[in-house]
């Protein structure tokens, strides 16, 4: 009985820890809607300067998701505010389920899962996370989106 109680407490703590990490409002140490001006010293613009949506890469970024090597992390700022991040896994990922396992550890069970096309989604009040894996190239794309910023961008397209 004591072992069962300890197991339930550890599971609850891990679930709470993972759900709290998903409740974070952004990606790594950057919060949704923060201004690019705060990060210009460590980020480099990779897109056109005149666009409302600009793409950046971060200097000395940690290029791993667990033990999976990443080929790129692109930070997207809409109207100068942090709105999304797109992560691409390295082609050396041979077991696509590794990425899904890492994301499930971090975010729990996805609300949308289609194992036939390797597409999964997680969502909370601030963030959506989408995973799409491509069997032919052995790569996966992961996109984190700020719900507020995504809605702002959608609404501005109709103005």
pLDDT by residue (tens digit) across 83-121?
999 999 987 666 677 888 888 888 899 999 998 888 999
Beta bridge partners of 72: 88
Range of the domain at 44: 2-157
Selection from 117, 127, 139, 92 nearest residue 21 by Cα: 127
- Sequence length of the chain is 159
- Number of domains making up the chain: 1
Residue with tokens 């990443």: 70
Which DSSP category does 29 fall into? T
pTM strictly above 0.75: yes
In tens, the pLDDT along 57-93 reads: 998 999 998 888 899 999 999 999 999 999 999 876 6
């Amino acid at each position: 009985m004591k072992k069962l109680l300890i197991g339930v407490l550890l599971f609850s703590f891990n679930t709470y820890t993972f759900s709290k990490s998903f409740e974070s409002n952004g990606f790594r140490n950057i919060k949704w809607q923060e201004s690019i001006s705060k990060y210009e010293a460590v980020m480099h613009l990779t897109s056109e300067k005149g666009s409302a949506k600009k793409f950046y890469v971060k200097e000395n970024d940690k290029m791993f998701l667990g033990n999976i090597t990443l080929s790129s992390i692109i930070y997207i700022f809409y109207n100068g505010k942090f709105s999304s991040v797109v992560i691409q896994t390295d082609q050396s990922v041979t077991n696509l389920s590794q990425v899904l396992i890492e994301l499930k550890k971090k975010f729990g069970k996805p609300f949308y899962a289609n194992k036939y096309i390797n597409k999964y989604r997680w969502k909370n009040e601030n963030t959506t996370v989408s995973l799409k894996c491509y069997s032919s190239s052995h790569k996966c794309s992961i996109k984190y989106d700020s719900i507020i910023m995504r809605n702002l961008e959608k609404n501005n397209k109709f103005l």
